Structure formats: structure tokens, C-alpha cells
Structure 1
Amino acid sequence: MIFTYDGTFAGLLSAIFEAFRLRAEVTDIIPEDRFQQQLFGKEIPIETNPEHAARVIAGLKKRSGNDRIVELLRHAYLTEQPEVERLILHFVRRQMAVHALDVSKDAGDERIRRVLRLKQQMGREVHRMHAFVRFQQTGDGMYVALINPDFNCLPLIGDHFAARYPAMEWLIYDTRRHYGLHWSSEQKRAEFITLDSNQDGRLRSLSAEMLEAGETDYQELWQTYFRAVDIPERKNIKLHLQHVPKRYWKYLTEKI
């Protein structure tokens, strides 16, 4: 039996709730937009139910005694890796089968170890986003940063930038997933936004005409500074690439 869901974390938890409620032999949980009719296996669409998702969360915390266990699963989920839903389903089944025991500590379970590895990989991606996001000021005063992370980390980095730049109006836009996080300096809150294809295309280009008059001057000054402090004799390209992978360079002002 195959469950399909709407592609959200709450939707996944709702599907897991239904698997328990129906005592069903669920072999896979797949986002609706990725599901392809298979020769074997019955598809059952599951609607997102916030109450059911909340009950799964409460059950995980109660059974594990670990209030951060859901954070672990959410971070792993946002990596969007193949079979992550199946891994999380296994994790929840294991956790719900025991009392007062945190199954995330079970190093002998390969699928649980894979969930932990995904969480660690997401942590590294979030750390890189904290370091490598570069804002450019547009003509209307908004600060815009384009990102293209391997994982869907945008939901996890907003608090960092809201705390760091609360007085700025900013937008961090994920060009791979076609959505962004907008911070309102007036309302002091962030919200996710999506753009139509024309807006998406214009934002990706961020031509000089769209930038604030002095923005390019600041960028040139920043690039000049980096060239000035460069010490060729101390260059270590291998170490540099370990800390600043090349896939991030196109968004770094000092690398443009």
C-alpha cells in the first residue's frame, strides 16, 4: 500500500498517523507530485490534518522523552533525499513501539543512522547559508539575496537573519525551489512567498538597473578589499574549497 501526501512535513505526519490508525502495511509514502502509477501497490491519497500531525508529534516526544526529536525528523525531511519519507516512517514506528527510550540513540539501526546523517548534512548546509548569504540592495530599498542550496534549508535560516537584520527589509530567494522568505521590518515578521515566472526571471537576473545607485560601488569596494588582503604565498586552494565550496561562489560578492 502506498500513501501519497501534499509534500509538506505536516502532510507526512498526517500520512504516518493514518498508517497507525488503519494498522496498514504501508510500503511507501510519496509526495503527490512525484507519484507515478505503479504496477503493484495501491495508492491512497492522504489529506493533511494538523490535529493528526500534532498527535504524532506529541506521541514522539512522550515516547522518547526528547523534546527535540521532531526537530531531528524535520531537518532530515527537508533534505528532500530519496526515500526520506520511508526512513521517517521507520523511525516513527520504532519510537512508538517503546516507552521512555529515545531510538535516535540506537546506533545499531542503519535506517535510524541514515536519518541522523541527513540531519547532520542539513546542519552543515544551514551553517554555510549563515556564512555565505550575500544581500544586494535594490532600487526600492529592499535587500535581496539569491541562494541555490542542495537542501531545502530556507525554513531553517530565517530566525538567524531576522535576529541579525531586524531593521532591514529583506528577501532570501531559493532559485532552485522557486520560493523565498520575506522579512518585513515594519511588522517584524517573516513570510514565505512565491513568484510568477516573470517575477522569478527578473529576480534571478538582478541587473544593475534594479540595484540601488550605490550598491555596485559597495560591491567593487568589497572586491578591492579582498584583492588587497590576498597573500598569494599563503594560498591553499584545497583548504579554501573545503570551507567555501565552488557551488556557492556565484552568489558571493567577493567571488564575482
Structure 2
Amino acid sequence: MPDRTDLIYAYDGSFVGLLCCVFESYAQKEIPSVIRPPGVQQSLFDTAKWIESDEHKADRVFNSIPARISSQAQELVKLGFLTCAPHKELLIYQFLRLGFTYGSQVMTMLTNDTVCALQKAVHHLTSESHKFKGFVRFSVYGEALVAVIEPKNFVLPLLSLHFCDRFRNEAFMIYDKTNSMALVYRSQKAELISVDELTLPEVDATEVEYRRLWKQFYTTVAIEGRNNPRCRMTLMPKRYWGQMTELMHD
């Protein structure tokens, strides 16, 4: 496969679109140096090759991953796409090229910069999603529970099963302010929808009282002699505090 360091792919930002970039690379025997999602500013002299999304092509690439590499590699690629890793598209593409060359062995090639970077990015994603299972705080708005989160990664797909099982008889929404997406659960069905901006109404007196009681509980169970701010910030990083009821300013 010839190496063209000036080749730029542009795609629609979907996982299907990224897999089509991989398909195009192998079909045309070319290697892109950049895979650009929507919204990324291009330089004046950039000429990008637009890659159309095609479910059939994407399926061929996706199904080839467990066949030629491993099911673990397939899962790593799926999760890698949800991360906030810089240039994650190129990282995933380069990982797949390695995988199609070395097979399942690629999963143990941790000294390789590409493999190491992708593994670290996915670890950061799964670690963050695990934290949010405990850090999400809901408020009551009418007949629904609503929470706002500001993650670094796109964690909603990983949170869906946990919260849908936990609140299976409720209607709720978790709004991801970072990625302008929301997990909406109602009538026993969950869906991810795009939400550019969310403006919530003022909470009612009952919700205000719930918040006061929760803050009082948080303060009451704290053991003053064991107060350790540094430990708390390690286990509960400060960037989460803005959406946590017990740490909000009145």
C-alpha cells in the first residue's frame, strides 16, 4: 500500500463513516495522514477527500475485525470512538492497520505507540463512565428526573444500561453538555438524541427541599476528624462538583 502523507479524508463524524474511511483506504490502496470529522477547521490549502457513509462497507470492515484480529479488538475500536483522544479517528485507523497485519497479537503490543495510546484512551473512557455511575445527580422536573453531566468522553452509551436498569419504572433524561447529546428513557425505551442546548425551568419548592435534605445528610454523615480534601479531590475530581447537589452553592 503506497504511503501518501498529504492525503486527507473527511467524513460525517459517525462510527459508520469512520469504518468507511478504513474501507476506502484499503480499496484504493492509499494511506490518509488525517481523518477529519465535521467542525474541524481546515487550512487554506487543504484539499480533503470526502468519504461517504455506507452501511454495507462499514459492516464489512466491522465484521472483519473479530475474524482477522479478535473480538477484543472490535470492542476496543467501538469504545475508542467514544473517547476524547486527540485525532482518535487516525488512531483507530492505524490500530486496525496493525491488527490486520499482526492479528490478535496486536492487543499485546503495548510498547507500540498507537496501541498504547488507544488502550489508555479507552481506559480513561471506562474509568470516567464508572465514576459517573456514582456522580450523576438527578432533579425532579414535573414527571421526569433530569441530570446534567459534563464529561470529557462520550459516556452516555456506557451509562445507558446502568441507569435504565436502576430507574426502569421512571422517566428520566441525562443531558451531556459537553457532547450536546441526551439519554432519554421513557415507557421502558431508551434513546440517544442530539440536544444543542438545554434550558431547564426553575425547580419547585419540593425539589428545593429535597436538595436541602441531601446537603444536610451529606454534612451530617461527614466525620470532621477524617476530613481529607486532597483524598476527596483524588476520588471525586473537582471538575465533577459543579453538577453534584451536595457541592453546589446555594
**TM over 0.5, yes or no?**
yes
* Separation in structure 2 between the aligned mates of residue 4 and residue 21 of structure 1, nearest angstrom: 16
Q: CA deviation at 1:35?
A: 4.4
* Separation in structure 1 between the aligned mates of residue 209 and residue 159 of structure 2, nearest angstrom: 28
Q: CA deviation at 1:94?
A: 0.9
2:36 equivalent in structure 1? 30
Amino acid at match of 1:13: L
1:74 equivalent in structure 2? 78
2:227 equivalent in structure 1? 235
Q: Give the counterpart of 2:14 among 8, 15, 34.
A: 8
Q: CA deviation at 1:133?
A: 0.5
Q: CA deviation at 1:98?
A: 3.4
For 1:114, what is the secondary structure of its paired residue? helix
Amino acid at match of 2:37: P
Q: CA deviation at 1:102?
A: 3.5
Q: CA deviation at 1:79?
A: 1.6
* Separation in structure 2 between the aligned mates of residue 255 and residue 158 of structure 1, nearest angstrom: 25
Q: Does 1:174 align with 2:176?
A: yes
2:194 equivalent in structure 1? 194
Identity %: 30
For 2:39, what is the secondary structure of its paired residue? helix
Q: CA deviation at 1:214?
A: 2.0
* Separation in structure 1 between the aligned mates of residue 231 and residue 63 of structure 2, nearest angstrom: 44
Q: CA deviation at 1:89?
A: 0.9
For 1:125, what is the secondary structure of its paired residue? helix
Q: Is the 8 A contact 1:4 1:45 kept in 2?
A: yes
Q: CA deviation at 1:63?
A: 1.2
For 1:166, what is the secondary structure of its paired residue? coil
Supply the RMSD in Å over aligned alpha carbons: 1.6
Measured against aligned partners, the alpha-carbon deviations of 1:164-212 in whole angstroms (never above 9, x if no partner) come to 111010000011222211001x2x2111223465xx2x23xx522xx4x
For 1:143, what is the secondary structure of its paired residue? strand
TM-score, normalised relative to structure 2? 0.91
Q: CA deviation at 1:68?
A: 2.9
Q: Does 1:105 align with 2:108?
A: yes
Aligned residues: 242
Q: Give the counterpart of 2:90 among 59, 67, 86.
A: 86
1:115 equivalent in structure 2? 118
Q: Does 1:47 align with 2:52?
A: yes
Q: Give the counterpart of 1:249 among 221, 241, 248.
A: 241
TM-score, normalised relative to structure 1? 0.89
* Separation in structure 2 between the aligned mates of residue 3 and residue 166 of structure 1, nearest angstrom: 42
Amino acid at match of 2:173: L
Amino acid at match of 2:96: V
Q: Is the 8 A contact 2:84 2:152 kept in 1?
A: no
Q: Structure 1 segments of 4 or more deviating over 6 A? A: none
Q: Give the counterpart of 1:146 among 145, 148, 159.
A: 148
* Separation in structure 1 between the aligned mates of residue 44 and residue 84 of structure 2, nearest angstrom: 21
Measured against aligned partners, the alpha-carbon deviations of 1:3-47 in whole angstroms (never above 9, x if no partner) come to 1011111111111111111111211111032141453x6411011
* Separation in structure 2 between the aligned mates of residue 68 and residue 162 of structure 1, nearest angstrom: 25
